[in-house]
């Protein structure tokens, strides 16, 4: 079983928000499984999804996860997943220019 992880996103104004990696990783895994299975009919969709999830949630897949989040995820789809003590504000314009991303261990968020 893969441990739960979050990505901390620090926006240009210094605010830090947290998002669970699973919705991003699952979306990425389904995307690549669809394309891989279209290219090779012998592949099993669920197996490819599982393999992609294991890869992207490993330390080797971190950069690919961040890349997918920045280039393939929409702010409107993910803003409801963000965690912060105050209300979520529209940060669409900053989504692609955030200055910092990092994995956050589960027990260290305050």
Q: Over the stretch 51-106, which tens digit does the pLDDT of each residue have?
A: 999 999 888 888 899 899 888 988 788 888 888 744 445 555 555 555 555 555 44
CA distances, 74 to each of 77, 92, 99 (Å): 5, 8, 17
Q: What is the tally of structural domains in the chain?
A: 1
- 21 in any annotated domain: yes
CB–CB of 8/18 below 8 Å? Answer: yes
Q: 51: domain range?
A: 6-108
- 25 in any annotated domain: yes
- 74 in any annotated domain: yes
The pLDDT value given to residue 92: 54
Helices assigned H by DSSP within the chain: 21-39, 45-56, 62-72, 75-78, 92-95
pTM, two decimal places? 0.69
- 1 in any annotated domain: no
């Amino acid at each position: 079983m893969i441990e739960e992880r979050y990505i901390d996103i620090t926006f240009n104004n210094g605010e830090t928000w947290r998002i669970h990696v699973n919705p991003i990783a699952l979306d990425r895994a389904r995307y690549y499984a669809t394309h891989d299975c279209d290219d090779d009919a012998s592949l099993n969709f669920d197996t490819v999804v599982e393999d992609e999830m294991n890869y992207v949630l490993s330390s080797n897949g971190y950069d690919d996860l961040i890349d997918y989040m920045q280039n393939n995820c929409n702010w409107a789809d993910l803003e409801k997943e963000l965690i912060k003590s105050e209300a979520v504000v529209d940060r669409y314009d900053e989504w692609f220019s955030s200055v910092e991303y990092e994995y956050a261990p589960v027990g260290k968020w305050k």
